[in-house]
Amino acid sequence: MAIGSRLARILPYVIVGILAGYLYYVAAHIEFHHRPGTLGPDFWPKAILVLLIATCIYEVVKRLLSGGAASHEVGGVLVEIVGESAEKHADMGVTVEIESHPWLLLAGMTLTVFYVSLVHKLGFFLATAAYLALFTVLGGYRRWGVIAMISVLGTLLLLFFFMKVVYVSLPIGDAPFSAVTLFLMQVMGIR
């Protein structure tokens, strides 16, 4: 394999690895008051960057050791699966028309813009639960009990994970909406 081709295969990973190393250096110099028994604001960025650097090193080594062997990319696998399925079902005479819903796409984008603009006023819980429910309905799902359960339980899980495990500060909301978020935080033991 030509050196230029080998370099082209590893160059993106080298660049991303170097940038991740620089960002790790920056994250290592975040100044904060360390409280015993808690993770600092530098923990998660550094952990993610270490995983990114390890992934880049793995990919560089893998691509260097594979030599001239053509890499089997995921996109190629998916194309093969779809092609095989089309050939297998061609004799059935079934054709599937690909649907396009640009208005649903626009509605989803608009809903997302409203979510972003209202999350600070309503608070994370109320805004996210409503967003998940409305987005699911917009997608065509109509089992209302399931929608309610998924949006409420999913938002509670996200609230707990981000605020209790990862220590990310989420919007509480303005009064009177903040009362809901503060109550849920108290029930879940989030300070």
C-alpha distance from residue 129 to each of 97, 123, 157, 165 (Å) = 34, 10, 11, 20
Instruction: Reply yes or no on whether the pLDDT at 35 is more than 80.
Output: no
- What is the model's pLDDT at position 55? 95
Which pLDDT band holds residue 141 (cuts at 50, 70, 90)? Answer: very high
Find out whether the peptide bond into 41 is cis, omega within 30 degrees of 0: no
- What is the model's pLDDT at position 36? 80
Overall pTM > 0.75: no
Instruction: Reply yes or no on whether the pLDDT at 144 is more than 90.
Output: yes
Amino acid at 40: G
E strand spans, the chain: none
Q: Where are the domains of the chain?
A: 3-69, 102-187
Instruction: Reply yes or no on whether the pLDDT at 28 is more than 60.
Output: yes
